[in-house]
Structure 1
Amino acid sequence: MTQYIKADKFYYPQETKSGGYLEVTDGHFGKWLSDLPERAEVLDYTGYQIAPGLVDTHIHGFAGHDVMDCDPAGILAMSRELLSTGVTSFLPTTLTSSAERLTEASKTVAKVAGTEEGAKIQGIYFEGPYFTEKYKGAQNPSYMKNPSLEEFANWQHAANGLIKKIALAPEREGVADFVSHLTKQGVTVALGHSNATYEEAKRAVQAGASVWVHAYNGMRGLNHREPGMVGAVYNLPNTYAELICDGHHVSPVACDILMKQKNHNHVALITDCMAAGGQPDGDYMLGEFPVTVENGTARLKDGGNLAGSILKLKDGLKNVVAWGIASPEEAVRMASLIPAISVGIDNICGQIKEGYAADFIVLDKDLNLLATYLNGEKVWEG
């Protein structure tokens, strides 16, 4: 079956097309046409704009469910509920935990991947456990250790090969060898929760690491004598910075500086959302830690540190435009194509392109989310 979507604007990877019609055939994107074929079935979104479905490559939980609950039904519920945030593809994200618990989390996601009815599971992201304590954030330091290829191989086996990305601290022992082996296997290595010097970070990047975990947060800052992790984020080319644009984790000014340093094509908007996302204020858990959610933030009860976020990716997209630090085109790309590129899944999602699954969102002129489509079918409406 073929239908044609009529809209004011279509966000393509490298350009924005005004007006016209986007062909969708059997759940896949076709061509963009300026004129309508005869006797065509039209889906009329005049006054609105069409963007690719958003891609969240760093998300721990949503709607009361957490990846570390190791509950198949919870992962599926998270997938369904994410449609209301404009997300159509995501990487369920683990936390630093015991080897056994991480094996269980891997098995759980692998068990349901491919059966989800909502946002598509495009892999697993292991945030940890190879971090260092100084910038532990809301991660349990008692499980932090040096990287092990054997241990990772066990997790990847449990995950049926689904682990697409793993984060570690560059100053850990054996990092260069670990990074080199994993990147050859097609696994993206991210750097964060780290007190590394600029040189330590640079060595990890030279070994193949290519992503910075939530830039600025959980890492040694920039000093004029020791540029540190933040200096490495700014200065090392061909790397991608995750960024939480909720206005709490990073000031809009610091977000702007990062975008100017790396350019918008190397910044991936993420949420780092935890189970309380989409839920009322109150008390929640992030992994093993009690968290209080109020005033738009999730904070550890013990110490008050930020503990993930309750950000929805559609709002991060809107924020960077409202702050005047990105155009709508740049914002859409940073929330869809760039995250997909950063973990090597841009061949299946993150862009409107002929032959790709027709996963897309409908936005009004103020970038508010009106509807979410998966495989050409409307699956959520505001």
Structure 2
Amino acid sequence: MKILIKHIDTIIGGMLIKDRDVLVSQTIERVERGGSIIADADTKVINCENSSYILASGYIDIHTHGGKGHDCMEATEESLEAISRFHLLNGTTTYLPTTLTASLDAIQKVIDRVRVYREDNLYARIYGIHLEGPFLNPVGAGAQPIAYLVKPDAYNTSFIINAADVVKRITVAPDIDGIIELVKDLTAHGIQVSAGHDNSIHTEIEGCIAAGLNSVTHLFNCTSRAARREGIEKYLGLTETALVRDDLVAEIIADGIHVPYGLIALTYKNKGAAGICIVSDSLSVSGINTSPLYLGIE
């Protein structure tokens, strides 16, 4: 069935274009001046005249833990369906369910469930999984459970590589032992590596960049700041390094709460739109008014 959306403001080529008719089938067939496309008898018409709606491409959210009362760590079909439907209704058409630092057994359950569920998902498309941990620094752990933080070794590296068909992104701390070899191994298998939850300085970060790391997870939240290690010399932290390096994309929770709007403006001034990736980092409580707030498995 074809759908004709009439008198809708739409974003085309990065520009907001006012009052357009858009004819949609499997793809967008036509975009014309508002009122100029005539629907046939089999076409459903949605009239958006005098509305505030904007027609735009779907969002891609690479960092979300859940929504509508469910967390990705539940690793059930019910939870993934609720999360996928919630995100689609809010304009996200593709996303990466994001794990919490947990045991490898718990992470494996999420991997197994996503591997099966994403094939028949009717709602927002699951591109793969974002592993937030377990290779993080306890100093910058934030809400991540410290008990499950680990350093890279042959076993846990193989564990992730063996799931490279599902695991598409991972957040690591650039300042833990063995991290450069891990970054090399994961990027060689097509897994994108991001820095976060750290206590690193720019020399450690630059080593990871050379190994393939290319982004920063939720900049200004659990990202290290300029500091001294020994003596009087100060080193850039992950926060400052992200702002000055063009080869790092800055992931930002742009809600004005996690990151003040002034810092968002500062980041945009330094990096431009191409250097920023806006994420929700949403939790199970997102989209509901009455639920206990929890992260991971309650």
**TMscore range, shorter length:** 0.7 to 0.9
**TM-score scaled by structure 1?**
0.69
Counterpart in the other structure of 2:270: 261
Q: Secondary structure at the match of 2:288?
A: coil
By how many angstroms is 1:37 displaced? 5.5
Query: 1:176-218: per-residue Cα shift (whole Å, max 9, x none)?
Result: 2222232232211110000000111122122211121100111
- Secondary structure of 1:114's aligned partner: helix
Task: Name the residue aligned to 1:276.
Answer: 285
- Give the letter for the 2:278 counterpart: L
Structure 2 counterpart of 1:192, one-letter code: G
* AA at the equivalent of 2:244: N
Structure-1 residue corresponding to 2:252: 243
Match status 1:218 vs 2:218: no
1:128 aligns with 2:137: no
Take 1:94 and 1:19, find their aligned partners in 2: how far apart are those partners?
Answer: 41
Deviation at 1:111, TM superposition (A): 1.9
Change (3 A) 1:10 1:146: same
Name the aligned partner's letter for residue 16 of structure 2.
T
Q: Secondary structure at the match of 1:110?
A: helix
CA distance, structure 1, for counterparts of residue 11 and residue 197 of structure 2:
34
The reply to whether residue 44 of structure 1 matches residue 54 of structure 2 is: no
**Counterpart secondary structure, 2:156:** helix
Identify the structure with bigger relative contact order (alpha carbons < 8 Å, sequence gap 6+): 1
Q: How many angstroms apart in 1 are the aligned matches of 2:33 and 2:289?
A: 45
Q: Deviations over 1:32-52 (max 9, x none)?
A: 334846655454323432111
1: distance between equivalents of 2:14 and 2:21? Answer: 18
Q: Distance in 2 between matches of 1:149 and 1:257?
A: 40
Asked whether the equivalents of residues 156 and 162 of structure 1 are also in contact (C-alpha less than 8 Å), the reply is no
Q: Is the Cα–Cα contact under 8 Å of residues 164 and 189 in structure 2 kept in the other structure?
A: no
Cα distance in 2 between the residues matched to 1:176 and 1:137: 23
Query: In 1, are the aligned partners of 2:3 and 2:46 still within 8 Å (CA)?
Result: yes
Structure 2: which 5+ residue stretches go unaligned?
228-232
For residue 176 of structure 1, the aligned residue among 180, 187, 202 is 180
Q: What is the match of residue 88 of structure 2?
A: 83
Change (3 A) 1:8 1:149: farther
SS class of match (1:58): strand
C-alpha separation in 2, matches of 1:37 and 1:114 = 36
Q: Relative to 1, partners in 2 of residues 1:176 and 1:12: Cα closer, same or farther, differing over 3 Å?
A: farther
1:112, distance to aligned residue in structure 2 (A): 0.9
CA contact (8 A) 2:140 2:223 kept: yes
Between Structure 1 and Structure 2, how many residues are aligned? 287
3-state SS in 1 of match to 2:235:
coil
Of 197, 221, 229, 1:193 maps to: 197
How far apart are 1:222 and its partner, in Å? 3.5
Residue 162 (structure 1) shift? 1.4
Q: 1:87-102, aligned counterparts within 5 Å?
A: 87-102=92-107
Q: Which residue matches 1:29?
A: 28
Q: 1:51 to 1:146 in 2, by over 3 A?
A: same
* Contact 1:137/1:193 (8 A) holds in 2: yes
TM-score computed with the length of structure 2 as normaliser: 0.87
Q: Distance between the aligned counterparts of 1:32 and 1:204, measured in 2?
A: 45
Consecutive unaligned residues in structure 1, runs of 5 or more: 291-382
Structure 2 CA distance, aligned partners of 1:149 and 1:89?
32
Measured in 2, the distance between the counterparts of 1:281 and 1:17 equals 38
Distance in 2 (CA, whole Å) between partners of 1:261 and 1:101 is 39
- 1: CA distance, partners of 2:282 / 2:96: 12
Report the 3-state secondary structure (helix = DSSP H, G, I; strand = E; otherwise coil) of the residue aligned with 1:154.
helix
Determine helix, strand or coil for the equivalent of 2:294: strand
- CA distance in 2 between counterparts of 1:160 and 1:189 reads 12
Query: Displacement of 1:109 after TM fit?
Result: 1.4
What CA RMSD, in Å, does the superposition of the two structures yield over aligned residues? 2.4
Distance 2:251 2:217 in 1: 6
SS at match of 2:234: coil
Given the alignment, which residue of 204, 211, 216 partners 1:207? 211
Identity %: 26
**Match status 1:71 vs 2:76:** yes
- Cα offset, 1:246, TM superposition: 2.5
Between the aligned partners of 1:110 and 1:57, the Cα distance in structure 2 is 17
Question: Does 2:167 align with 1:167?
Answer: no
